A and B are shown apart, each in its own frame.
Chain A
Amino acid sequence: MRNLLKNRHLSGWLLAAPLSAVLLLFLVLPIVMIVVVSFWGATEFSIYPAFLFDNYAFLFGSPVTYSVFFNTFKYAAITWVFTLGIGFTVAYFLAFHVRTLTWQIALFLLCTIPFWTSNIIRMISWIPFLGRNGLANSTLISWGVIDEPVEWLLFSDFSVILAFVHLYTLFMVVPIFNTMMRIDRSLIEAAYDNGASGFQTLTNVIIPLTKPGIMIGSIFVVTLVMGDFITVRFMSGSQSANVGRLISNDIALLQYPSAAATAVVLLATVLLIIAVLLRFVDIRKEL
């Protein structure tokens, strides 16, 4: 028995058993189930086992699919640009301009606390800002910038992306800040000593060394936006669609096989993007 426990494979398996069980039951099996059901057939009320390619044929034959996928990529790309820009700037400020560790930790916590609160509440809280009679419109009117309320602030692509940036910039700040804090400060001193300006140090030293953090943040933001359905539904007032909404609409109509086929294509797309991004970063090394 004692020797058995010393076997590193066996002790590894035993310790990882609960984790593997959860992943098997609630991740692997559900994915298998979705793949299986994506070949099933459906009537208006029920679904039945079959081996049909109808769901995929319909999915790839419909022009809606392509425009919805395009929309999803558009949201992901625009959100990525803004979260990266804002996240990098915030992390850079925290890591290189705040001087004491106490302040760094305090300000960093201020940035991360909203992550532990409800996304839905944070979405709802934009309504009084962006609505027809909201703060933004009334402020702009009182400044004389506009004469009547702007309609596109709420329930538009603008509000969807604003909410994405609001919800997910943290996912950029945290990994980028984490990588920046591990940059050896003497490298920056060396750059200055060699006559580099602040901006040159940023582009030639800090940005290249921060790449792993940027990649991890990008993985989070891109996958969260691509898999989202609730933000798009809520913030667009059901006027825009992304792939997640396509799936949730099918679910609402009990068209599970069709939802499953869309889900398979979405999962394949997301995993492909992650596989590409993971080529640029070794996650295990970055922890």
Chain B
Amino acid sequence: MSGRRPRSFYLLASFFALFLLFLYGPTLTIAILSFQGPDGGLTFPMRGVSTYWFADLFRQQAVGDIWGSFSRSLVLGLMVMVTTVVVSIMGGLAFRKRFAGSSVIFYLVITSLVIPSILVSLGVGLIFSQSGLNVHWSTSGYGSQLTWTLPFGLLIMFAVFNRFDPSYEEAARDQGAGPWQTIRHVVLPIIAPSLIGVALFGFTLSYDEFARTLLTSGSYNTLPLEIYGMTTNVTTPVIFALGTLTTLFSFLIIAVFLLTVWLQSRRRARLGSDAGKGML
């Protein structure tokens, strides 16, 4: 498999490059256009280069309640993230052994993943309105988003525990560790990198969720709802500026998570035991 690369490699590599261009091209375009001059429009040509539209985001009268919705989305994202991690770990541990009703729950998880988002939105909205409760992003919105983030968290945990070597736990038990100690000091540290992945899914899927919060967030919008509202009545590049900023924020979050995983694996490589390595 070494030596010169076949011609098919170059064909496929060009295809892959085109795919990346397709994936990132539009985002880069609006990033460029968000630096339009004050007289510029939604398309090229650029009429000067300025940060006018970014500044516009900070002017009070400009549009809606961007910063309020941003902080709500941030808090909601963190709430959903923590819940997703905790519930996914517990669910993952539960599914290591078959228990009565486990396959029912499993199929519910799959249903939760494939059900059209607007149905969750509609159903939760109806329950709240018919029982006289007010929909609010931190109650109905939070629960609706969990039906989207939990399946991803659980599928990751299933994958993790399918590959988990139970002899680590047996070793811990043989040394006299209790069930909680085994989980706290053996299982959790081993699966930690995957938990960061679950947290990343939990936060970002919540932060960007639109359809499931549409009818369940009440009178205070989350950021995606605010942006969607802007698409119908804002016709200036300010929407590109907002898009660029929130995409940058997402990139930052992703980078932080990936960096944590990377640092963790380095630390692990450095401090890890050398058991089994010096035998030969």
Q: Knowing A116-B204, A116-B250 touch, does A287 contact B159 (C-beta < 8 A)?
A: yes
Are B43 and A30 neighbours in the complex by a CB distance under 8 Å? Answer: no
Which residue from A17, A22, A116, A247 sits with its C-beta under 8 Å from B146? Answer: A22
Q: Which residues of A contact B8 (CB under 8 A)?
A: 97, 198
Residue of A9, A19, A23, A110 contacting most chain B CB atoms (<10 Å):
A19
Q: Complex Cα distance A15/B101, Å? A: 13
Q: Complex Cα distance A226/B110, Å? A: 16
Q: Is A239 among interface residues, defined by CB-CB distance under 8 A?
A: no
B contacts with A, residue count (CB < 8 A): 92
Stretch from A60-68, A130-138, A204-212 that touches the partner: A130-138
Are A270 and B116 neighbours in the complex by a CB distance under 8 Å? Answer: yes
Q: Which residues of A contact B188 (CB under 8 A)?
A: none
Are B150 and A19 neighbours in the complex by a CB distance under 8 Å? Answer: yes
Q: Is A74 among interface residues, defined by CB-CB distance under 8 A?
A: no
Residue of A124, A251, A283, A284 contacting most chain B CB atoms (<10 Å):
A124
Number of A-B contacts (CB under 8 A): 259
Q: Is A161 among interface residues, defined by CB-CB distance under 8 A?
A: no
Q: Mark B87-100, 1 if CB is under 8 A from A, else 0.
A: 10011011101111
Q: Complex Cα distance A275/B278, Å? A: 52
Are A230 and B126 neighbours in the complex by a CB distance under 8 Å? Answer: no
Are A125 and B26 neighbours in the complex by a CB distance under 8 Å? Answer: yes
Chain B nearest CB, measured from A37 CB (Å)? 6
Q: Is A93 among interface residues, defined by CB-CB distance under 8 A?
A: yes
Q: Is A33 among interface residues, defined by CB-CB distance under 8 A?
A: yes
Q: Knowing A20-B105, A23-B147 touch, does A12 contact B99 (C-beta < 8 A)?
A: yes
Stretch from B16-24, B53-61, B166-174, B266-274 that touches the partner: B16-24
Are B19 and A86 neighbours in the complex by a CB distance under 8 Å? Answer: yes
- Quick one: which of A69-113 are within 8 Å of B by CB? 86, 89-90, 92-94, 97, 99, 107, 109-111, 113
Q: Which residues of B contact A19 (CB under 8 A)?
A: 87, 90-91, 94, 105, 109, 150, 154
Are B90 and A16 neighbours in the complex by a CB distance under 8 Å? Answer: yes
Q: Mark B57-99, 1 if CB is under 8 A from A, else 0.
A: 0000000000000000000000000000011001101110111
Are A37 and B147 neighbours in the complex by a CB distance under 8 Å? Answer: no
Q: Knowing A29-B127, A128-B43 touch, does A244 contact B30 (C-beta < 8 A)?
A: no
Chain B nearest CB, measured from A169 CB (Å)? 8
Q: Which residues of B contact A50 (CB under 8 A)?
A: none
Chain B nearest CB, measured from A2 CB (Å)? 10
Chain B residue nearest to A8 in the complex (CB)? B97
- Quick one: which of A160-194 are within 8 Å of B by CB? 166, 169
Q: Is B108 among interface residues, defined by CB-CB distance under 8 A?
A: yes
Chain B nearest CB, measured from A34 CB (Å)? 5
Chain A residue nearest to B250 in the complex (CB)? A117
Are B247 and A118 neighbours in the complex by a CB distance under 8 Å? Answer: yes
Q: Complex Cα distance A259/B116, Å? A: 13
Are A284 and B106 neighbours in the complex by a CB distance under 8 Å? Answer: yes
Are A229 and B211 neighbours in the complex by a CB distance under 8 Å? Answer: yes
Q: Mark A1-44, 1 if CB is under 8 A from B, else 0.
A: 00001001101111111111011011111110110010000000
Chain B nearest CB, measured from A219 CB (Å)? 7
Are B122 and A15 neighbours in the complex by a CB distance under 8 Å? Answer: no
Are A135 and B123 neighbours in the complex by a CB distance under 8 Å? Answer: no
Q: Which residues of A contact B110 (CB under 8 A)?
A: 274, 283
Chain A nearest CB, measured from B106 CB (Å)? 7
Q: Is A214 among interface residues, defined by CB-CB distance under 8 A?
A: no
- Quick one: which of B112-134 are within 8 Å of A by CB? 112-120, 122-124, 126-127, 130
Are B210 and A119 neighbours in the complex by a CB distance under 8 Å? Answer: yes
Which residue from A12, A92, A260, A270 sits with its C-beta under 8 Å from B102? Answer: A12
Chain A nearest CB, measured from B171 CB (Å)? 20
Q: Complex Cα distance A99/B111, Å? A: 37
Chain B nearest CB, measured from A120 CB (Å)? 5
Q: Is B258 among interface residues, defined by CB-CB distance under 8 A?
A: yes
Q: Which residues of B contact A110 (CB under 8 A)?
A: 20
Q: Is B196 among interface residues, defined by CB-CB distance under 8 A?
A: no
Are A37 and B143 neighbours in the complex by a CB distance under 8 Å? Answer: no
Q: Is A56 among interface residues, defined by CB-CB distance under 8 A?
A: no
Q: Which residues of A contact B22 (CB under 8 A)?
A: 166
Are B127 and A244 neighbours in the complex by a CB distance under 8 Å? Answer: no
Q: Complex Cα distance A66/B120, Å? A: 24
Chain B nearest CB, measured from A285 CB (Å)? 9
Are B126 and A37 neighbours in the complex by a CB distance under 8 Å? Answer: yes
Which residue from B16, B24, B154 sits with its C-beta under 8 Å from A93? Answer: B16
Chain B residue nearest to A127 in the complex (CB)? B42
Are B243 and A125 neighbours in the complex by a CB distance under 8 Å? Answer: yes
Which residue from A5, A8, A18, A284 sits with its C-beta under 8 Å from B158? Answer: A284
Q: Complex Cα distance A267/B117, Å? A: 11
Q: Is B51 among interface residues, defined by CB-CB distance under 8 A?
A: no
Chain B residue nearest to A229 in the complex (CB)? B118
Q: Which residues of A contact B159 (CB under 8 A)?
A: 287
- Quick one: which of B126-159 are within 8 Å of A by CB? 126-127, 130, 143-144, 146-147, 150, 154-155, 158-159
In the assembled complex, 7 residue pairs joining A and B whose CB atoms fall closer than 8 Å, in A order, are A16-B94, A22-B150, A97-B12, A116-B201, A117-B208, A120-B210, A121-B30
